[in-house]
Amino acid sequence: SDPFGGEVKPRILLMGLRRSGKSSIQKVVFHKMSPNETLFLESTNKICREDVSNSSFVSFQIWDFPGQIDFFDPTFDYEMIFRGTGALIFVIDSQDDYVEALSRLHLTVTRAYKVNPNINFEVFIHKVDGLSDDHKIEKQRDIHKRANDDLADAALERIHLRFLSFYSVKTFYVNFYVTSFYLYLETNMMSISHPSAPSFYLTSIYDHSIFEAFSKVVQKLIPQLPTLENLLNIFISNSGIEKAFLFDVVSKIYIATDSSPVDMQTYELCCDMIDVVIDISCIYGLTGEEAGIPYDKESMAIIRLNNTTVMYLKEVTKFLALVCFLREESFERKGQRVFVCQGHKFSQLPGHGSDPVACIF
């Protein structure tokens, strides 16, 4: 069954200056567009481009900052949108001058935080494909520092303002004690009321970094994550499978994995496998009137790599697939080790078919 009750989709807002790469990210991650094709994307003049996708586990919207997007524009109900948003991704073009972007980021974070203090703020330092590794780290450090300095300055300003008002208090001692008390209060309040510090990611649509970053952003929005990870841990420790991922098929974002480390190559192989499955199904699996993603309950694939590894993909829900890695030997023993999930326990079902993963959810 659908572990997410069908309803609770992570809602994400993608924001940033014009030409920072928002549409490209959307097209590459959610519409399988190849990165080179994004060169020809037309710029739109709309402030808000809606894309509440029906095909993906994630739903999201794009907001542009043209000249001056107005938080004061009464036709633009940003409060309502911020209220329903789980994560706000702010895209900064690392190949451009980012002073303007940083001031927008600052404005956005402070505004959004006021409306909804539970939003996760995520900054994509984007288009890093042209930069050397050293240069990437340097950019990240610089942007990180400037963004946080801005936010810290905002907090300091408030303290500063408070100090000024105390000079109207006549008695020195009263002034002293009241000031210390307020300073104490302000410092402690700051840690409570200060916007949650943004997280930073280096991204590019020309490699898997954009998918990896999106995966992290989405995972933070899934309250069931620890349970899913735990189930995947139990699953791999009992089934001869070495690594298991739960993927959103359309976006190739991974929702969860077991707690063994993820290396980029493994992740890329999963993405490639999903592409192969969807492409083959598109070519051979669609009948006339069917539209959309050719992915259903029957979807399943096995790919044998030439290094004795087997990859196994299986449909889990309308949006999600389980992708596993196992050794050829474990795979050959199919039929002997089949497990089923009952509540939080797995129990062995001897002779239950020959499909080692079909029973997990």
Residues that bind ligand GDP (CB under 6 A): 16, 18-24, 38-39, 41, 43, 126-127, 129-130, 204-206
Report the 10 Å Cβ neighbour count for 271: 18
Which tokens hold the place of 343?
């509540």
Nearer to ligand GDP, 25 or 109 (CB): 25
Q: Give the list of residues 6+ apart from residue 54 with CB closer than 8 angstroms, or none.
A: none
Nearer to ligand GDP, 106 or 127 (CB): 127
Shortest CB 211 distance to ligand GDP, Å: 12
Shortest CB 64 distance to ligand GDP, Å: 6
Strand order in the sheet with 48-51: 48-51, 59-65, 11-17, 87-93, 120-126, 199-202
Shortest CB 346 distance to ligand GDP, Å: 42
Q: Determine the Cα–Cα distance for residues 163 and 68; give it in Å rounded to an integer.
A: 33
Nearer to ligand GDP, 121 or 339 (CB): 121
Q: Determine the Cα–Cα distance for residues 204 and 181; give it in Å rounded to an integer.
A: 48
Shortest CB 18 distance to ligand GDP, Å: 5
Q: Determine the Cα–Cα distance for residues 291 and 225; give it in Å rounded to an integer.
A: 31
Q: Determine the Cα–Cα distance for residues 104 and 230; give it in Å rounded to an integer.
A: 39
Q: Determine the Cα–Cα distance for residues 338 and 346; give it in Å rounded to an integer.
A: 10
Q: Determine the Cα–Cα distance for residues 317 and 185; give it in Å rounded to an integer.
A: 50
Nearer to ligand GDP, 43 or 75 (CB): 43
Shortest CB 185 distance to ligand GDP, Å: 41
Nearer to ligand GDP, 24 or 215 (CB): 24
Q: Please name the residue that has the structure tokens 């408070």.
A: 162
Alpha helices by DSSP H, listed for the chain, are: 22-30, 78-83, 99-115, 133-166, 172-193, 209-219, 225-239, 264-280, 328-332
For the chain, percent helix, then strand, then coil, each to nearest 5?
Answer: 40, 20, 35
Shortest CB 229 distance to ligand GDP, Å: 30
Nearer to ligand GDP, 24 or 239 (CB): 24
Shortest CB 30 distance to ligand GDP, Å: 13
Nearer to ligand GDP, 205 or 231 (CB): 205
Question: What are the beta bridge partners of residue 256?
Answer: 246
Nearer to ligand GDP, 217 or 228 (CB): 217
**Do 242 and 248 contact (CB within 8 A), yes or no?**
no
Nearer to ligand GDP, 102 or 244 (CB): 102
**Do 333 and 240 contact (CB within 8 A), yes or no?**
yes
Which tokens hold the place of 38?
């994004």
What one-letter code names the amino acid at 194?
H
Shortest CB 202 distance to ligand GDP, Å: 10
Nearer to ligand GDP, 13 or 205 (CB): 205
Shortest CB 302 distance to ligand GDP, Å: 33
Question: What are the beta bridge partners of residue 126?
Answer: 93
What one-letter code names the amino acid at 128?
V
Shortest CB 48 distance to ligand GDP, Å: 12
Q: Dihedral sign, CA of 66, 71, 72, 75?
A: positive
Q: Is 93 helix (H, G, I), strand (E, B) or coil?
A: strand
